[in-house]
Each structure stands twice: as C-alpha cells, then as structure tokens.
Structure 1
Amino acid sequence: MKVNDKLKAFTAKDQNGDEFDISQYLGKKPLVIYFYPKNFTPGCTKEACSFRDSYQDFKDLGAEVIGISDDSESSHQRFAKKHDLPFTLLSDQDGKLRKQFGVKKSLLGLLPGRETFIFDDKGILIHRFNSMDAKPHIRKALKVVKEIKS
C-alpha cells in the first residue's frame, strides 16, 4: 500500500475468536492499523502498552486502533488480558493481511515487520511508518490523526 491508496475490505479473527470486518469502520472514522512481530516480546509489549496508554487520546479524536500479528486468537486473548489492551487484535496466521498491506520482513528477513498505517475517515492511507523501534509509532500516529482532525 502506498499513501493515497484506499483500504480494501478484509475480515480476520479477533482476540475473542470472532470474525472482525473492517468495513464496519471504513469511511466512518480514522484508523490506526499497526503490524507487529510477536505477542509477549519486549518491543511488542512496549508498543501495545503505549497504544493502550494513548488509546483514549485516539478515541477522543474519533480514531480506532487495531493491532495485527501472526499470533493465534488465543495468544492475542492472553496478551490483551495480561496487558489490559482495550483495542482489537487481529490474527494474521496465513500472512494474508501483511501481503495486502505490503508489510515486509525485517532484520534480514528473520522477523515479521513492524509498521503502522494511518487512514483518514474515508479509508485513504495518509501515512505509513516502518521502524523496528516500537517507541516512535504511537507518537507519529497520534500526530497524524491530530492533523487529519484539524
């Protein structure tokens, strides 16, 4: 996906094993969709908890946060419960969503990539950010969502 591309509809299983359909949000609110390598790893835990800590800021701006990794629904459920994550986590075990978004592997192709996508309320990609460092993702996403809403 490139900036100005429109988000295509997709479905995936969430942390509760329910079918999640992105079309319930498409064209209705800004979306922050972040891909991360693995539940319970230090960087991914830090990133998820940072999104959790800023979640109300995103909600106040009318945005929704969605995390995606190739972990199973049950792993997502344990991860969300342990860290009180209030947002949706989607399981991408077959790699279909990574492929749709064009998220490449990192660290010499050894790890699934860490990438954040910000879509406006029309489903248009406004910003794409790729860094294995988890820290800047939340700050950049919040800044872009604020710019969309102003």
Structure 2
Amino acid sequence: MSMLEGLHAPDFTLPNESGNAVTLSDYAGKKYVVLYFYPKDATPGCTLEAQTFKENHPEFSALDAVILGVSPDGQDSHLKFSDKHGLPFSLLADTEHAVAEKYGVWKLKKSFGKEYMGVERSTFLIDPTGTVIKEWRKVKVDGHIDDVHETLLHVSNEGNGEVK
C-alpha cells in the first residue's frame, strides 16, 4: 500500500552515529535519498541489510544518491554498529520514533505470541525535489537492494524522477 508516493517527504532532523545533525531537506536540489528504516542494530536481518547497502554504496553514489539508515537505536549503538561493519553512510537515531511515525513505519508487531511496537522494515526513494517517488514496505532483505538500485537507475536515466 502506497502512502507517501508522489508526496513531499516529511522533513526531519536526527543525530547520526557521530552526533551530527542530519536534516533531510539539506539534500533537496542536490541528491536522491535512499531512506531506509530498520528495526534494530546488530540483529541478523538488519546487519545483512546494512552490509548489502555498504556493498552497493559505490553504485548508489555514482547515481548521485545518499543512503540514510534510521532506527530507534541511540547514537552509541549506531556508532558501534557502523564501526564494526565499516558502513560508509549515516545511521540516524530516531529514539522517540517520531520520524518512523511520520513515515508510517512504526507499527504493532508480533513475535513469539507477544505484541509490541516497532519499526516495519521499509525504504523510501526521494528525488532531488524532496518527493517520495517509490516506497517499499514490509521489506524482505533478500533482493531488496537490487530492486532499489534498479529503480534509482531507471529514474536517474529518465531524468524526470517518475517511476514507470
């Protein structure tokens, strides 16, 4: 279900793993943004996703795209996770899950019969005008980065930011 495609991406400012403020609108007019939300640092699926984005970082950079990862973990957790895996992109600390809520990815989840609130793994491709041009919700890590890259390649080649 598409909630944000075609709409201006909700702006935010969050601290990254180094404590520096990152504001989404700072990229407006400059770059595509691959904004991915993940549940928790250092878990198997989240580690695989981060490593896959790392492996593909040169291809995303070549298409004038910046990758930003967001989770409810704090700055210290992000720094440890980023350093351990040598991540070449920022991880943003959404400890109050306010940004996750803006993007509609803070959801009721179930695991082993328990219900809790958490991040639903999701990715948003935002064009240089600040418009969400594609969103992926309930992401499965396998093959996801390839899909994001292929979509980015297509829209950057089209030059108009529209996904066909």
Shorter-normalised TM range: over 0.9
Aligned to 2:161: none
Aligned to 2:60: 58
Residue pairs, 1:91-106, within 5 angstroms: 91-105=93-107
Distance 1:20 1:104 in 2: 20
**Alpha-carbon deviations, 1:86-134, whole Å to 9, x = none?**
0010000001100111114264354421000001121111111013421
By percentage of residues, which structure has more strand? 2
TM-score by length of 1: 0.94
Unaligned 5+ runs, structure 2:
158-164
Aligned to 2:160: none
Query: Aligned residues: percent identity?
Result: 34
Corresponding letter in the other structure for 1:59: S
- Of 2, 6, 9, 2:8 maps to 6
Unaligned 5+ runs, structure 1:
none
8 Å contact kept, 2:33–2:67: yes
Distance 1:27 1:130 in 2: 26
CA separation of 1:132/1:147 partners in 2, compared to 1, >3 Å: closer, same or farther?
Answer: closer
Structure 1's consecutive aligned runs of 4 or more residues displaced over 4 angstroms after TM superposition are none
Q: CA RMSD in A?
A: 1.4
Matched, 1:128 2:135: yes
8 Å contact kept, 1:43–1:134: yes
Corresponding letter in the other structure for 2:122: E
Query: Which structure would you say has the larger Rg?
Result: 2
Aligned pairs, how many?
Answer: 150
Distance 2:108 2:137 in 1: 10
8 Å contact kept, 2:97–2:106: no
Aligned to 1:90: 92
TM-score by length of 2: 0.86
Aligned to 1:45: 47
8 Å contact kept, 2:122–2:138: yes
